[in-house]
A and B are shown apart, each in its own frame.
Chain A
Amino acid sequence: MFPAIAAVSAALVATTLAHPAPPAPGRGYGLPLRTIDGLDDVRAALVADDGTVTAALGPGGVVRVARDGTRTQLLPAWPLGRVAEAGALAELPDGRVAVADTARGGIAFVRPDAGPTLVELRIGGRPIRPVGLAVLGERLFVADGSVPRIVVCDLGASVQAMWDVQPPEVGAPLVPLLAGIAAGDGTLLVSDCANHRVIALAAETGAEIAALGDRGAFPGMWQTPLGLGWDGSAFLVTDQLNHRVVRVDRECKVLDQWGMHAVRPREGNGRIHYPTVTNASADGQTVAVAEPFERRVQLFGGASDEGPSQPKVPGLPTVDGVASHFSTAMAVDGRTMLVYEPESASALVFDLRPEVPIHVTTFGGPGLRPGLLGQVTALAVDEAANRLHLVDPLRGRFISFALVRDGTAPHFDPFMARLVREVSMEAVERFVTELQLAGPARVLPVDLRVRPGPDGGFVMLDACGPRVFVLDRDFRPTSGFALVGDDRGVALATQLALPSANEAMVVDMAGRCVRRFAIPGGAPLGTIVPEGLVRPFGIAPLPAGADGRARIAMTDAGGDRVAVVAASGDEAVVVASGGSNGSKPSELWEPAGIAWCPADGRLYVTDHGNHRVQSFDADARWASSFGIGRAFVRPKDPQATGPVPASGSVPAASGAADTRQQLPQPVAGADGWTQVPSNDGHWTVRWRFDPGPKPPLRDPFAIDIEVRRAGDAAAYEGGLVADAAMPQHGHGMNVAPTVTRVAPGRFRAEGMLFHMPGYWELYFDLLQGGGVERAQGAVTLE
C-alpha cells in the first residue's frame, strides 16, 4: 500500500436528521458487527443506517455493498469513471455522493442513476490535493493535502473561501500535512499527520478553537492521525499507526477509544490494522473503519450495556519482540538492502550476502532533530559511495547516512549507521514554481533512484503532479517535468525505474501501464501495457532475455504477484509470474516495492501486507522469505513439498567492504582537544569540554568547538547546532543547549547536561543552506 502519508482519508457528515444519540462518552464503539472483505485498496467508506456500505477504492472507483452482500459499481474504475484515485467520500443532503480524486485534484459527484459530474478544483491555477471531504449545511469543506488549508465550497464545488491551517506554536513544528476532515455541530475537525495533531475550527469562520496531539501512543497522542468522521455527538479520529479509533469532542477532549493492533495479518474481529478513515451512520449506531491493508471494512456498533467500555490495554511485548512492519519502499544496491518501518520511523539495513539476508542495523527513529525522521517515503542506496538516502517530506529533507562496516562477516551492529548530511527540499519546491511545473504547490516524493552513468545524481518521482525531477549529487534539481498530457500522462504514479542513464520508467497504477520518458527533458518514449495486471505498484528493470527483448519485473499489488514482462516496441507480454494471494512463505499480500540485485540474481520485494521481504529469481520463481523473525527458503530437495525454514548459516566476509576509514573515530590530542573530520569530509571539527577532560554527570557543562575547512584549514563561516543523545536508550538530553558563535569557526555550546551515566554521542551539525553536515564524537560517563 501507499506509505502512510500518501494514504488518503475521507470524512462523512450527515447532519440535519434527528436521530438516536450515539454512545455516550466512555462507551465507545467496541462491538464488532461484521466485516466486508474483498475491497481492494479501500481508502474510504460510508455506512448508511440500513447497513449499506459505500467504499472508495482508489483507482477502482466507488462500489456500493448492500446489507445482503450485493455489490454495485457506483463509479466505474479509472479511466471510465474519470477518477484516478478515489480517496475521500462525503454524502450530500440530496443523496449525491462526492468523491475526491486525490491524485488529479477533482471532485466527482455521483448519483446511482446517472453518470458522474466532475469538477476540477484549482487555486491559483494549480490543482489541489483533496484528501478529505465534509459537508455541513450548504457547504462542502475540502481538506487540501498539499498546501495546508481547508477549501470551502458550495455543494457544486465552487470555491467560496480558503482557510489556512497553522502549525502548532511550540517547538519546531513541521509544515502541516492534512489528511482528513469532518464536520459536526458547527465545528470542523482536521487532522495534521505531520505534527500528529487534530485541530478544531469554527465552521463559520475557520478560527481555531482547540488542538490536541503529539506523536505517541498515550491518550491524547497520535501516530499519523488520518481520516475523521462525526457520529452525531463526537468526532472519530482514525489513529493509523496506533491501530485504533479515538472519539474526541468539539474541544478536542478525548472521550474514549477502541481497537487493538492486530497481532497477525488478516486478523479481524475487532482488531484493527492500519485503518485510514472511520465514518458513522447518520443515526450514529454504526461506524465503518476502512482498512486498505486488509482490503476490508469493519463495522462496529455501540458497546454493550454493561457500562463504560474499558479499552483493553496491551501488555508488554513478548521477550522476542514484535516483528517489524515494513512500508512499501525498497532499495537495493550491491549487497545492501534498505527498507523502512513507519511505526518506529526507522530504517533497516539488510546484508544480502548470506543465503537469507541478515538484518545488520536500524537507524533513524522519530523526532525533529537532524538524523531523526518525520516520515520517510522514498529510499535509495549507493553502495559504492557508501550512502543510504532517505527522503523525508515531513521534515522536508533529503537525509543521507553512511555505514561504518568493519569488513567482517555480516553481523548486527546497532551503531553502524551515521548521519552524513541533510539537504533541504526547498530548492525542489522553488523549482516547481520557477519552472511553473503543473501540479499542486507541494512536493510529496514517492520514489528516488540513484541515476546511473557519469553524471550521477538522482531521479525523483513526486506524487503531486505527478512529476519527475532530475537532481544532482547535492539534491539540487537540474530539470523536471510533469507527467501530464495524452502522450505522457500518468494518472496515479507509484514507482520509478531507471533502466539507463537517459531513460525513466514510471508505473501508472490507475492506468495499469508503464510510461517511458527520456531524462532529462521528459520526452515520451512509449508505453508498456502488460495484460492482466490488476493494480501494479513497483518496477525493476532486469537484464534482457535470451530473445533480446527488454525485461522488467513488476509487482501487482492488486493481483498479489510478481510479473516479469518482456517488452519490445508496443508489445508487452507477461513471460513469468510468481507468488499468489496469501500469507504463507512464497505467498504475497499487496507486494509493493521491488528491486533487482545483479550480484545475487534475485528480485527483492516488500511483501507489504505480510510484514516481510521475499525474494524471487529472474523468472519469478520464489526463493526466500525473511524479515525480522523466521525466514524460509525454497527447498533444494525437489521432493520437498513446501518452503523450509532457513538453516541460518552465515557466509564468510568475502567481498566485504571495510568503510571505517571513511568515517574515522575522533582522536584526542594532548592539548585536551578532540578532533574528527565531518562525516562528509569537508570540515575538521575540534572540541573540548569545559569543565574537562570529561563532562560531569548531572551538572551543566559547556563545549568549546572549532571548525575549519579540511585541506586549507580556512575558518568555517556558517552556523552550528550542538546536541547529544544516548542511542542505546533512544533519548537525547532533557535540556536545549545554547550555541554562541565566538569568532568565525569558533563556537561555545553552553548548558549541555548529561543526566544519566553511559554512552553518549555528541553531534555537531554544521548548517549548510537549509540542511546540515554532521561531525560526531562520543563520550562514556561512568
Chain B
Amino acid sequence: MRRSVAPLARIGAGGAIAVALSAGIGPPPGAPRAGAWLDEDLARRVARNPPLGAVPADPTNRFADSASAAELGHLLFFDARLSASGTVSCATCHDPARGFSDPRPLAVGEGTGPRHSMTVLNAAHQRWLTWDGRADTLWGQAVQPFETVHEMGSTRAKVLATVRGDPALRGRWRTAFGEDVPPADAGQAAVDAAFALVGKALAAYERKLTSGPSAYDRWWTRRAAGDAGADGELSDAERRGLALFFGKANCFQCHHGALFSDGEFHNIGMPPRDGGMPTDAGRYAVVERVRDDPFNAAGPHSDDRDGTQARISRSLVNGPDRWGEFRTPSLRNAAATAPYMHAGQKATLAEVVRFYSTLEGATQLDHHRESVLRKLDLSEREQADLVAFLGALSGPGPAAPWDRAPGAAPPAAAHVPAHPPTDRNAAPPSR
C-alpha cells in the first residue's frame, strides 16, 4: 500500500542532527569531526550515538542509587532459592560469563519460555524492558519472573518467606529499607509493597551492570577532541563497518542513540523459530497489561506516580499495527550475547547481518504493507565489516564485585570476545 511504511532511508535526511538525549544526562561536549573517510553525513549521524553517559536517574525507585539496596539486590540476583525448584536464579538465564545473557535460544528456567533472554547490561538506560516492553521500569520488570511459570515459577509470598527465613538476607533488607521483611500473614497490601521492594533492590543492583567503554567510544571521544590518532582505535574492517552502519546499511535508523537502540518497537518480519505462521504478538499483546500493571511507574508502588514515565504509561494506546513488534535491542556488547532476536532465531551476528542483507525468510502477511526493511544486498566483505564494527561496541563489562556472584572468583570466561589491539590496522583477509 502506498501510504504504509516507507523505507526508513527516506527519513532523517538533511538538516543538522542534534545529539539524541539518553534520558538524564546531556550530550558530551563536541562530537566527532568530519574529515577523510568520515564525511559530513556520517559525522552527523555518529554524533547521535555518543558514548553511554551515566545511568539516568529513576525517580520511580527511591532506592535506585542506594548502595545497601544494590548489595541486597546482588545477593538476590544470584539466589536460586527464590525459585520453585530452588535451582533457578536470575543469573541462570542472565549469566555474567555470557554478557548477562544466555547462549540458549529460548530461556530455560523452571520450564522453557517462548523468548530469548535479553542481556541485563545497560538495561537501566532503556525506557521499556523486555522484548515486548511489558515493564516500564527496571524494578517493575524484576518482579515479573518470580511469578512466571516457566521462569522461576514461584509466588511473591514464597519469595518473601525465603528472604525472611535467611538471616543474612533479612539483615541486609533491614539495612537497605529500614524496616523488616513482612511475615506470611501480613496481608496482601504489605506483601505487595515488600514485593515491590524486592524489585527495587534488584534494580539497584542492575543499575551497576553497565557495559563500560568500548573501542568505538574511545574512538568517538578522541575524534571529538580532535585527536589525530583517534582512528587507531578501530581496525580497518571496523571503520568500514562503521561507515556502513551509519551509511548505506541504514542501521542507525533504529539503532540510534547512545544505547544503539531507539527503545521503540518494530516488526521486522523475523520468522518464528520453526517457520510457519508468526504467533508471537509482541507489543500488541502487552500494551493493556503495561497500562494496568500495579507495579508500573503510575501504580501505587512507584515513587514517582505523576512523573514522566507514569504519564506515558497511563496514556498508552494499542492498535493492530503493533502486532509482532519487538523492542529494538541495544547493540552494545552484542558480540557477547549470541544468539539474537526475540526467539534466538539467529545464532551469530553474521546470520543477523545476512538476514538484513537478504531478507530471506522474512514474513510479511499483509501484502499491501511495505516492509520496514529493504534488502541491502551487501557483499560478503561488507557483511563481515559490519560484524567487525559490532564487535567494536563491546566494553569490558561491569566493575567488580557486580560482575560476578557475591563472593565468587573473577569470572573464568571473558565477558566479551577479546578485542586485541594487534588487529586494528591489519589488512583484512581478501575475499
User: Chain A residues in contact with chain B, CB under 8 A?
Assistant: 170-171, 214-221, 223, 242, 257, 261, 310-311, 313-317, 319, 321-322, 324, 341, 343-344, 346, 348, 362-365, 367, 414, 696-700, 727-731, 733-738, 750-751, 753, 755-759, 780, 782
User: Which of A171, A314, A364, A414 contacts B365, CB < 8 Å?
Assistant: A314
When C-beta atoms are compared, the residue in chain B nearest to A215 turns out to be B320
User: Which of A314, A751, A780 contacts B367, CB < 8 Å?
Assistant: A314
User: Which of A221, A316, A317, A362 contacts B2, CB < 8 Å?
Assistant: A362
- Asked if residues A310 and B18 are in contact (CB atoms below 8 Å), the reply is no
- Asked if residues B5 and A729 are in contact (CB atoms below 8 Å), the reply is yes
Report B-chain residues with C-beta under 8 Å of the C-beta of A257.
Answer: 277
- Asked if residues B2 and A346 are in contact (CB atoms below 8 Å), the reply is yes
- Asked if residues B6 and A728 are in contact (CB atoms below 8 Å), the reply is yes
Docked complex Cα distance between A363 and B317 (Å): 23
Tell me, yes or no, whether B331 is within 8 Å of chain A by CB.
no
Tell me, yes or no, whether B226 is within 8 Å of chain A by CB.
no
Number of A-B contacts (CB under 8 A): 154
Docked complex Cα distance between A218 and B288 (Å): 19
Known A-B contacts A365-B1, A728-B6, A738-B315; the reply to A758 vs B20 at CB < 8 A is: no
- Asked if residues B364 and A315 are in contact (CB atoms below 8 Å), the reply is yes
Report B-chain residues with C-beta under 8 Å of the C-beta of A697.
Answer: 20-21
- Asked if residues A316 and B20 are in contact (CB atoms below 8 Å), the reply is no
Known A-B contacts A346-B1, A699-B308, A755-B264; the reply to A734 vs B6 at CB < 8 A is: no
- Asked if residues A735 and B275 are in contact (CB atoms below 8 Å), the reply is no
Report B-chain residues with C-beta under 8 Å of the C-beta of A696.
Answer: 21
- Asked if residues B320 and A736 are in contact (CB atoms below 8 Å), the reply is no
User: Which of B264, B308, B318, B366 contacts A700, CB < 8 Å?
Assistant: B308
Report A-chain residues with C-beta under 8 Å of the C-beta of B158.
Answer: none
- Asked if residues B5 and A730 are in contact (CB atoms below 8 Å), the reply is yes
- Asked if residues A728 and B320 are in contact (CB atoms below 8 Å), the reply is no
B296 CB to closest chain A CB, in angstroms? Answer: 14
User: Which of A216, A736, A780 contacts B366, CB < 8 Å?
Assistant: A216
- Asked if residues A731 and B2 are in contact (CB atoms below 8 Å), the reply is no
When C-beta atoms are compared, the residue in chain A nearest to B307 turns out to be A700
Tell me, yes or no, whether B279 is within 8 Å of chain A by CB.
yes
357-411 of chain B: CB within 8 A of chain A: 359, 361-371, 374-375
When C-beta atoms are compared, the residue in chain A nearest to B375 turns out to be A319
- Asked if residues A218 and B367 are in contact (CB atoms below 8 Å), the reply is no
Contact with A along B317-336 (1 / 0, CB 8 A): 11111011000000000000
- Asked if residues B263 and A757 are in contact (CB atoms below 8 Å), the reply is no
Docked complex Cα distance between A214 and B322 (Å): 11
Number of interface residues of B (CB under 8 A): 57
Docked complex Cα distance between A310 and B23 (Å): 45
Report B-chain residues with C-beta under 8 Å of the C-beta of A750.
Answer: 311
Tell me, yes or no, whether B190 is within 8 Å of chain A by CB.
no
- Asked if residues A219 and B278 are in contact (CB atoms below 8 Å), the reply is yes
When C-beta atoms are compared, the residue in chain B nearest to A347 turns out to be B3
Contact with A along B285-322 (1 / 0, CB 8 A): 00010000000000000000000100110011111110
User: Which of A242, A341, A364, A734 contacts B317, CB < 8 Å?
Assistant: A734
Report A-chain residues with C-beta under 8 Å of the C-beta of B21.
Answer: 696-698
User: Which of B3, B271, B288, B308 contacts A727, CB < 8 Å?
Assistant: B3
- Asked if residues A344 and B127 are in contact (CB atoms below 8 Å), the reply is no
Report A-chain residues with C-beta under 8 Å of the C-beta of B362.
Answer: 315-316
- Asked if residues B364 and A314 are in contact (CB atoms below 8 Å), the reply is yes
Report B-chain residues with C-beta under 8 Å of the C-beta of A698.
Answer: 20-21, 23, 127, 263
Beyond A214-B320, A315-B364, A780-B15, 5 additional pairs, beta carbon < 8 A:
A218-B281, A313-B271, A313-B278, A317-B370, A700-B312
Known A-B contacts A344-B1, A346-B1, A735-B315; the reply to A316 vs B10 at CB < 8 A is: no
**Residue with the highest number of chain B CB atoms closer than 10 Å, among A341, A735, A782:** A782
Report A-chain residues with C-beta under 8 Å of the C-beta of B256.
Answer: 757
- Asked if residues A346 and B324 are in contact (CB atoms below 8 Å), the reply is no
- Asked if residues A700 and B323 are in contact (CB atoms below 8 Å), the reply is no
Tell me, yes or no, whether B228 is within 8 Å of chain A by CB.
no
Known A-B contacts A319-B375, A362-B1, A365-B4; the reply to A737 vs B315 at CB < 8 A is: yes
Docked complex Cα distance between A601 and B311 (Å): 59
Report B-chain residues with C-beta under 8 Å of the C-beta of A324.
Answer: 2
Contact with A along B2-16 (1 / 0, CB 8 A): 111110101110011
Tell me, yes or no, whether B262 is within 8 Å of chain A by CB.
yes
When C-beta atoms are compared, the residue in chain B nearest to A361 turns out to be B2
Report B-chain residues with C-beta under 8 Å of the C-beta of A317.
Answer: 364, 367, 370-371
When C-beta atoms are compared, the residue in chain B nearest to A309 turns out to be B276
Known A-B contacts A735-B312, A751-B315, A780-B15; the reply to A729 vs B6 at CB < 8 A is: yes
Docked complex Cα distance between A700 and B127 (Å): 13
Known A-B contacts A219-B277, A313-B276; the reply to A758 vs B12 at CB < 8 A is: yes
Contact with A along B144-163 (1 / 0, CB 8 A): 00000000000000000000
Tell me, yes or no, whether B269 is within 8 Å of chain A by CB.
yes
Report B-chain residues with C-beta under 8 Å of the C-beta of A414.
Answer: 2-3, 6
- Asked if residues A348 and B2 are in contact (CB atoms below 8 Å), the reply is yes
- Asked if residues A736 and B317 are in contact (CB atoms below 8 Å), the reply is yes
Docked complex Cα distance between A699 and B323 (Å): 24
**Residue with the highest number of chain B CB atoms closer than 10 Å, among A219, A223, A261, A319:** A219
Docked complex Cα distance between A321 and B371 (Å): 10
Tell me, yes or no, whether B67 is within 8 Å of chain A by CB.
no
Tell me, yes or no, whether B193 is within 8 Å of chain A by CB.
no
Known A-B contacts A311-B277, A700-B312; the reply to A731 vs B359 at CB < 8 A is: no
